[in-house]
Amino acid sequence: MLASIWSFLGQREEPLPSPPPVTITGVRIPADSTPAHLLPLTTISDSGGTDSFLFHVPDPRSYWDFRKAWEYRDLHRLDLQQDDHIQRSHHLRQKHDLQKLLRSPQHHNRKQLLHLRQRYLLHQQYHILQQQHSSCTGAYYVFYSFTFDDLPKNLSVPPWISDIGDGDHRQYCGDVFLVKIAPHKYGEDGWAAYKDIVPQFLDLLVKGLFDG
C-alpha cells in the first residue's frame, strides 16, 4: 500500500543491492543454562527487522524453533572500551550527526531515513574494560528474540549486558547471539563489516567486567 502511494506521488526508490553472505565467529548464550560458546554464524539479508540498517545480519533461525522468533527479533549495541573519554566524545558526535541528518530529510529517501533512525536511536551501552580484557574492546551487537509465548526466558545473559538503567534489565527469549563489528563498521555500500569474536570474550562473560 505504501509503495503504491509513493509511486503515485512520483517518488520511486531503486532497489538496493544485497551484500553477499559472510561467515563470522560469534557468541551464543544458550537459554538452557549451558555455557556460552563461540560458533560460526552466516549472515543473511533481511529488510524486515529493526536491524535492516546493517543490510545483512547473523542468521540464528536454526536455534530459534519458531518462525515468529525470527520475525520478533531485536538488537542492542554494546561498546567495550578502555578509555572513558571515548564514551562521551562518541555520544556527542552521534548526537550532532543525527541532528544534522534529520534536519535535512530532503537529502535522503525514506529508506535511508529509516536506516539512520535505526542506527542512531538504537539502545547503546558503554563499558570500560580492565587491562586483562583489552583484547575484547570494540563494538558488538546483541541479537535476541522477544517471543515470550514460544521461547523460554534466557536467564544466562550477564547483568552488565542486560542492564537498561535504573535497576531494570532487558528480558530475552531463547538463545542470544553476539557479533562484533569491524573498526570501520560499514563498507562502501553501507553494509555492516563484521569481525570474529576472540575466545577471550568467553572469559569476560564468565568473570564479568570487574573480576579483580
pLDDT tens-digit readout, 95-109: 666 666 656 655 555
* In the chain, domain spans: 19-207
Determine how many CB atoms are found less than 10 A away from the CB of residue 153.
12
pLDDT string in tens for the chain (212-residue length):
334 333 434 445 555 678 899 999 999 999 999 999 999 999 999 877 788 888 899 999 999 988 889 999 999 999 998 876 555 555 556 666 666 665 665 555 555 555 555 566 677 888 889 889 999 999 999 999 999 888 999 999 999 999 988 889 999 999 999 999 987 666 556 788 999 999 999 999 999 887 65
CA neighbor of 177 nearest in space, from 197, 200, 147: 197
Task: Round to whole Å and give the CA distance between 21 and 59.
Answer: 10
pTM of the model: 0.79
Task: Round to whole Å and give the CA distance between 2 and 41.
Answer: 34
CA neighbor of 4 nearest in space, from 111, 13, 175, 178: 13
Q: Are strands 37-44 and 57-58 parallel, antiparallel or unpaired?
A: antiparallel
Burial (CB count within 10 angstroms: exposed 0-12, middle 13-18, buried 19+), residue 50? middle
Task: Round to whole Å and give the CA distance between 201 and 83.
Answer: 18
